[in-house]
Chain A
Amino acid sequence: MDSRDSSSAVASDAARDASLLSEDAAVLSVTSTLAKSALSCFQSGKFEDCIDILIQLDQKQHNDPKVLHNMAIAEYFKGGCSKSKKLLEELNCVKKQSEELASAAREQVEAVNPGTNVSVSKDQFDSTVTTLNIAVTWFHMHQYTKSSSILEPLFQNIGRLDETIALQISFLLLDIALACHDAVKFLAVFDYMDKAFGVGFGSHEENGSTMQLSSNQGSKTSSLLSSSVVADTVAESSLCEETLDYDNVLAEIAAEKRMKSVGHIPANNLLKTLSERSFSTADLKLELQLYKVRFLLLTRNLKLAKREVKHAMNIAQKRDSSMALLLKSQLEYAHGNHQKAMKLLVVSGIHKESGTSGIFNNNLGCIYYQLGKYEASSQLFSKALRSCSSLRNEKPVKTFSLSQNKSLLITYNMGLLYLARGEPLLAAQCFQKASVVFCRQPLIWLRLAECCMMALQNGLLDRSEIRVNVVGKGKYRKLMIEENGHLELDGSTQCGKLSLPLARACLSNGIYLLNESLLNESKSDRESTLSVGMNETKEASSADHGEANTNSDLKEAKGGLNQDIMQSSLSAFKDIQSREKLLIKQALLANMAYVELELENPIKALAAANSLLQLPDCSKIYVFLGHLYAAEALCLLNRPVEAGAHLSAYLVGPDDFKLPYEQEDFDQWRMNTSSDCEETLDSSTGNARDSVFLKPEEARGALFADLAALLATQGHHDQAKAMITHALTLLPNNVQATVTAVYIDMMLGRSQDALTRLKQCTRVSFVPGRLEVRAS
């Protein structure tokens, strides 16, 4: 605050103090003058000078925690914001020290006059700023949970804090909550802010009529555009040059204004810097409105988000509307209006700033991904990553560039893209990098496991063929079916570090995290389960996945209070989340059962399959997989009768199977992965095709084939023969079914049939025995 004074005022102030007050006070005023010049050095980016002054101060005020604190900050900036770990150590040290001093001072005061609750040294040893800075640093290191837990005690007592600090804490908490998708926490903080800072928030009409008293340049222009309808259509309907220029002008004005900000590195981008001076009530109002939209987008309440983003546009029209436009673009993206989203993204103008061009490219990449244009998407993500890394390496450090370092998020997107393109190795690398941020989320573990499994499939493409060794010639020509032998010969299972044991580890991580979060959820929601439960049953029947997850069918609390709207969004979002968790759980368990089978661990596979089958509202596809895996595991455990029971769940009549799931169940999956198919993939990347799941009829074929295999082992060769014939009509050319058929033929002594079958199947490769090249 002091820095508001002009330098001459400072000097005269100091002089007056020195002449009037005691010697002690004189020392104080010298130090406070030094403190002021340290601050001004800091603000103008002269970190070395700043540190010199701080050293002087430290000599005068020995071990003053605040001096040490500022020193740590200045050193950090001097080092180009690279030594975050060191900064954290120092800040923690300062914090500890000031707490010790504070408690010592308190004891002293109480010893002198006990009983009085004096807040004498409150300011001097207050560690709020230090704590905030620790939290900020963790935030930039993407350690959101840590950051949040550090801020929590501050937030508890936020009413007692300085307004600036309180705002900073609140905004940081909001961003943390958004990063963690934690709508509950977000709302708690937002409610506080709405009450404490949201002046007249929520009533729409006042925003046209309010007189702008301040000499803000923007207000003159704003009166021209104050009609909300006009303003909105201008921004929405066109890429109008004027609007863009206007925004830029405002951005520049805003940036200029912020150059004077207190206690901060001067910043020159269009994003808000929090500081007392630059945050006028109107700015704050816009900011809160934007956060409200982000909350609604997070909770997928698109209908209300649309309304609120309009309101945000109205407010923003007088200022910087780039963020509002960006949110509008996100809204259209969520609606699936990709063209519109793209347009708005461009209008938002964030690509013009080096600080946000990475974000622009990332978002555009998301749009292209949804359009199924993977090549373009991939280029955009790479571009986004490049601009992030160039931002980090920028010298001198102009802003706290770490704060816009979104590279880990972009890396996650990249991982999804590689996975969609069937490149598991690259995808896994991305997910592993991004796990720094997402390691608490079950989904990333599922994705990593999928990478392993895809690598396995790609590496073992041979498995999709039957290899028949042709030995001898002429009269002595013999065929030897070699079905298992090529595993070691391939050597390709060692795809980088991906392996089935890794997949298993990832899946158990995912299951653990998911169970943990489900447990927490049920704990915290015990009171409100009633209403949630009712919604769930209603909506769960409508669909399992996809579109149902938009919150749009939410009752629009028109005219309701701000809080009510957000509260109802929140509870609807909780439903969505718990439904999604259930889906992820199904996927995790199904994958687990599969991986355990691959690892020849039938006991664990059976356990996973059984837990999958016990899940409530399990999707039909996963139920089918659960039965199939359980049956196979039971076979491997020599429990054929129980295995048969799993398969006969789908029997209709003595020897026919119904469809294990309907076309619509299957379509749901296909719809969600439809973007995979839009791009015409050439045969080289055709591996991705392999992950396309069985159609309902094919699944029925699998049931026939598996029952045939089971019957064959039980010696019921004739029944098995009938089953496998069914299977092969549904799954012609299926390798496993063909092998089983050959087996049954041979068991029935019809080796001529077997021979014909092998020769007719297109997926048999006859390998001349002699030509085999062997290294050893």
Chain B
Amino acid sequence: MNRSTTVLMKIEESATVLSLLKSDLLPMEAVLSEFNSKLQSSSHLAVCNSLSMMLQEQKMLCGTERLIAFGIIYKCYSSQKPSFNPFLSEMISAACNEQLEKSERAFLLHLLQWNNYNNVKEILKQSAVDYIRSFDPSTHDFPELGELQREYGDKADPGPSSHIFADYSLKKLLHDPDVPRGCDPDSPEFDVQPGGNPRIGSGDRDEALSGLLENSTMAGLAPRWIRPCPPRYSVHQSELLWIDPDNKHELVWDDKMCADTSRGATVRDLLVKGLKMTLSPSEQEDITTELTNDPKLVYHCGITARKLPQLVEHNPQIAVEILTKLNNNKEILDEFLAALVNMDMSLHSMEVVNRLTTAVELPKEFIRSYITNCISSCENAKQQDKYMQNRLVRLVCVFLQSLIRNNIINVKDLFIEVQAFCIEFSRVREAAGLFRLLKTLE
């Protein structure tokens, strides 16, 4: 909980403090000034902390040691007002503790400068042993705890940390005497006898003291809060990245570099327009002339297979013009023709195919599939609209007659298909005409 920095005493420091505590024959003043000279002020807090903890245990320190320990705590904060001493409350409660020696309580009252206890300097000139020996309890009266607390308590500094857990932290040792069962741990028989063999359960007080000095930490025992760590945010399946290969986005070479851009610019613009509306005769003528002048222009005039259907719908003549020019490039022409087959049947598309058949020689399979498509379009048009269907059938009949008359197709290849078509739509006059034409060719 409280992670305030821990101050631990160094081994040599604790040894010094221990030896000072034992200097009960020296004037206390001298002991305290030696403390000041040997320990840096930065470690004062830690020392006081340990001492205060040991002072709470009445049996840890003997009478003279307790005096010196309180003296050290006093000394560390003597330059400030008593209320700044973080250990003030412990000094107060010790001063009022009936169980303690009166000499010690009087000593504390001197340190606290309570009322007429004001000759602290005089007292410190004595050694601890002398002070106790010369102490006369009859000359002293002791205040109530409440009195002292009123005097100092509300002025007391809250100490190094200020939240409630730290405020209420407890600096206490737990007794855990390690003596044989049934023995009185307080019996002096368990003290280490000089020269004697150590026996089970015996302990050396000095060793314990230095151990405490070394190990004690600033923080006391406080209630602890359970602070669960938040759970790890769960990995949804989509967080784990499944990768698909991208399209390869390559850097593109600018193929318009140094291209003759003026050439064909007008044609390109006109053709863009021609995808959306019928061009005027003069515009159409412009395109035709330009295309004738520059046979290569057709490849970069902006018309692609995908755009062809739009051109066919709006400007069939131009479409024918372009398709004718593409005639020597079989691969591209195939692509354009495929677009033609796949587009919806219309008067214009048939017109284009019809005119194309007269201008260039078209691949047989193209014409075949185009006709198949025409016929199936007529059949599919059933669902739509009778009028539209009739119209389409008439168109197809006229178209087929024209192809047959011009010897574009060999009737034998398509005979059964066309005948079935004529029979199906015999109600249409043109279909009957086509049927008669077929009969004559038989």
Verify A702–B228 contact, CB threshold 8 A: yes
CA distance A66 to B205 in the complex (A): 94
- Contact (Cβ within 8 A) A587 B254: no
Residue of A38, A481, A625, A636 touching B230 (CB-CB under 8 A): A625
With A637-B163, A740-B224 known as contacts, the answer to whether A672 contacts B177 (CB < 8 A) is no
Is the beta-carbon distance between B10 and A776 smaller than 8 angstroms?
yes
Task: Report the Cα distance A549→B235, complex, angstroms.
Answer: 13
8 contacts between A and B (CB under 8 A): A123-B259, A199-B342, A212-B338, A281-B339, A403-B250, A450-B232, A483-B221, A701-B226
Task: Let me know if A770 is at the binding interface, CB within 8 A.
Answer: yes
Interface secondary structure of B, over-half rule = loop
Partner of B236, one of A28, A122, A470, A549: A549
A67 pairs with B230, CB closer than 8 A? no
Contact between chains at B8 and A739 (CB < 8 Å) = no
Interface residue A340 (Cβ < 8 Å from any Cβ of B):
no
Answer whether residue A642 sits at the interface, using C-beta atoms and an 8 A cutoff.
no
Q: Does B165 contact A635, Cβ atoms closer than 8 Å?
A: yes
- Of residues 278 through 302 on chain B, the ones whose CB sits less than 8 Å from some CB of chain A are 296, 299-300, 302
Q: How far is the CB of A302 from chain B (nearest CB, A)?
A: 11
User: Across the interface, do B250 and A265 meet the contact criterion of CB distance under 8 Å?
Assistant: yes
Cβ-based interface call for B211 (8 A): yes
- CB-contacts of B140-167 with A (<8 A): 162-165, 167
Contact of B387 with A by CB under 8 A: no
Q: Are B165 and A475 in contact (CB under 8 A)?
A: no
Contact, CB under 8 Å: A35 / B259: yes
Inter-chain contact A594/B229, CB cutoff 8 Å:
yes
Kindly provide the distance from the CB of B159 to the nearest chain A CB, expressed in whole angstroms: 13
The residues of A that contact B416 with a CB separation of less than 8 Å are none
- Whether a CB of chain B sits under 8 angstroms from the CB of A705 is yes
Q: Which residue of B lies closest to A38 (CB)?
A: B257
The interface residues of chain A lying within 8 Å CB-to-CB of B233 are 443, 446-447, 450, 583-584, 587
A64 is contacted by which of B236, B245, B258 (Cβ under 8 Å)?
B258
Binary B-proximity of A439-460 (CB < 8 A = 1, otherwise 0): 0000100110010011001000
Q: What is the chain B residue whose CB lies nearest that of A549?
A: B236
A13-B296, A472-B212, A672-B234 known; A271+B305 contact, CB < 8 A: no
* Known interface pairs A123-B261, A264-B250, A363-B243; A736-B224 also in contact (CB < 8 Å): yes
**Chain A residues, CB < 8 A from B1:** 483-484
Stretch from A134-142, A534-542, A564-572 at the B interface? A134-142
Other than A67-B258, A712-B168, A744-B223, give 19 A-B pairs with Cβ distance below 8 A. A2-B255, A35-B259, A70-B254, A124-B256, A126-B256, A178-B244, A197-B306, A272-B248, A326-B245, A359-B243, A362-B242, A400-B248, A400-B251, A473-B203, A473-B208, A478-B57, A628-B228, A702-B228, A706-B226
Partner of A5, one of B170, B250, B296: B296
**Which residues of chain B (174-209) have a CB below 8 Å from chain A?**
174-179, 185-186, 190-191, 200-205, 207-209
Total number of B residues with any Cβ neighbor in A under 8 Å? 111
- Confirm or deny: A346 has a beta carbon within 8 angstroms of a beta carbon on chain B: no
Interface status of B137 (Cβ within 8 A of chain A): no
Nearest chain A residue, comparing its CB with the CB of B236: A549
A359 CA to B231 CA, complexed, in Å = 31
Interface membership of chain A positions 664-685, coded 1 if the CB is closer than 8 angstroms to chain B and 0 otherwise:
0000010011010000000000
Contact A474 B190 (CB under 8 A): yes
Q: Which 3 A-B pairs have the closest CB atoms?
A: A472-B208, A474-B203, A672-B234
Q: Which of A220-228, A310-318, A413-421, A522-530 contacts B (4 or more CB under 8 A)?
A: A413-421
Complex CA–CA separation, A628 to B339 (angstroms): 70
Name the interface residues of A115-174: CB closer than 8 Å to any CB of B.
119-124, 126, 129-130, 132-133, 136-137, 139-140, 162-163, 165, 168, 171-172
Which residues of B have CB within 8 Å of A429? none
| CB of A356 closer than 8 Å to a CB of B | yes
Asked whether any CB of chain B lies closer than 8 Å to the CB of A726, the reply is no
CA distance A254 to B253 in the complex (A): 21
Min CB gap A417→B, angstroms: 9
Whether B246 contacts A404 by the Cβ 8 Å rule is yes
Set of chain A residues within 8 Å of B170, measured between Cβ atoms: 743, 746-747
Interface residues of A in 618-649 (CB under 8 A from B): 621-622, 625, 628-629, 632, 635-638, 640
Report B-chain residues with C-beta under 8 Å of the C-beta of A597.
Answer: 227
Give Cα distance in the complex from A77 to B250, angstroms. 11
Name the B residues within 8 Å of A124 (CB-CB): 256, 261
- Closest B residue to A745 by beta carbon equals B174
| Distance in Å: Cβ of A98 to nearest Cβ of chain B | 10
A523 to B254, CA, bound (A): 40
CB < 8 Å: which of A420, A484, A587 contacts B4? A484
Q: Which residues of B contact A (CB under 8 A)?
A: 1-6, 8, 10-11, 57, 60, 162-165, 167-168, 170, 172-179, 185-186, 190-191, 200-205, 207-209, 211-212, 214-217, 219, 221-261, 265, 269, 296, 299-300, 302, 304-307, 329, 332, 334-335, 337-339, 341-342, 365-366, 369, 372-373
- With known contacts A706-B225, A709-B225, A366–B252 Cβ distance under 8 A: no
Confirm or deny: A691 has a beta carbon within 8 angstroms of a beta carbon on chain B. yes
Question: How long is the Cα–Cα vector from A720 to B172 in the complex, in angstroms?
Answer: 19
A409–B241 CB distance below 8 A: yes
- Find chain A residues with CB under 8 A from B226 CB: 628, 701-702, 705-706, 731, 734, 736-737
Stretch at the interface among A182-190, A237-245, A327-335: A327-335
Q: How far is the CB of B133 from chain A (nearest CB, A)?
A: 27
Chain A residues with CB under 8 Å of B373's CB are: 211
Chain A residues positioned under 8 Å from B338 (CB to CB): 212-214, 281
Q: Which B residue's beta carbon lies closest to that of A264? A: B250
Distance from A216 Cβ to chain B, minimum over Cβ atoms (Å): 10
Q: Is the CB of B248 within 8 A of A472?
A: no
One of B191, B255, B258 near A3 (C-beta < 8 A): B255
Question: Given contacts A485-B217, A632-B227, A713-B223, are A274 and B250 in contact (CB under 8 A)?
Answer: yes
Residues of chain A within 8 A of B200, CB atoms compared: 474
Among residues of B, the one whose C-beta sits closest to the C-beta of A612 is: B230
Interface of A is mostly: helix
Q: Min CB distance, A548 to chain B, in Å?
A: 11
Select from chain B the residue with minimum beta-carbon distance to A487: B3
Do B245 and A356 touch (CB < 8 A)? Answer: yes
Our pick among A119, A356, A602, A632 for the contact of B269 (Cβ within 8 Å) is A119
Residue among A200, A215, A632 making CB contact with B334, cutoff 8 Å: A215
In the complex, what residue of chain B is closest to A589 when comparing beta carbons? B230
A546 and B296 in contact, given A457-B229, A638-B163 (Cβ under 8 angstroms): no
Min C-beta distance of B333 to chain A, whole Å: 10
Of the candidates B217, B249, B306, the one having the most CB atoms from chain A within 10 angstroms of its own CB is B249
- Residues of chain B lying within 8 A (CB to CB) of residue A621: 231
A742, B169: Cα distance in complex, Å: 12
Among A129, A163, A488, the residue within 8 A (CB) of B304 is A163
CB distance from A775 to the nearest CB of B (A): 11
Q: Give the docked Cα–Cα distance between A280 and B8 (Å).
A: 80
A69 touches B254 (CB 8 A): yes
Q: Which of B5, B191, B214 contacts A475 (CB 8 A)?
A: B191
CB distance from A327 to the nearest CB of B (A): 7
B236→A172 contact, CB < 8 A = no
Please tell me if the beta carbons of A420 and B238 are within 8 angstroms of each other in the complex: no
Closest B residue, CB atoms, query A751: B174
Residue A93 at the B interface, CB < 8 A?
no
CA separation between A635 and B166, bound complex, in Å? 11
A413 and B241 form a contact (CB under 8 A): yes
Smallest beta-carbon distance B5→chain A, Å: 8
| Interface contact B242-A487, CB-CB below 8 Å | no
Chain A positions 486 through 505: 1 when the CB is less than 8 Å from some CB of chain B, otherwise 0:
01100000000000000000
The one of B6, B172, B214, B253 in contact with A39, judged by C-beta atoms closer than 8 angstroms, is B253
Shortest Cβ distance from A575 into chain B, in angstroms? Answer: 15
Whether B212 pairs with A137 at a CB distance below 8 angstroms is: no
Partner of B258, one of A61, A482, A720: A61
Given the interface pairs A35-B257, A474-B203, the reply to whether A73 lies near B249 with Cβ below 8 Å is: no
Among candidates B232, B250, B332, residue contacting A673 with C-beta atoms closer than 8 Å? B232
Are B176 and A693 neighbours in the complex by a CB distance under 8 Å?
Answer: no
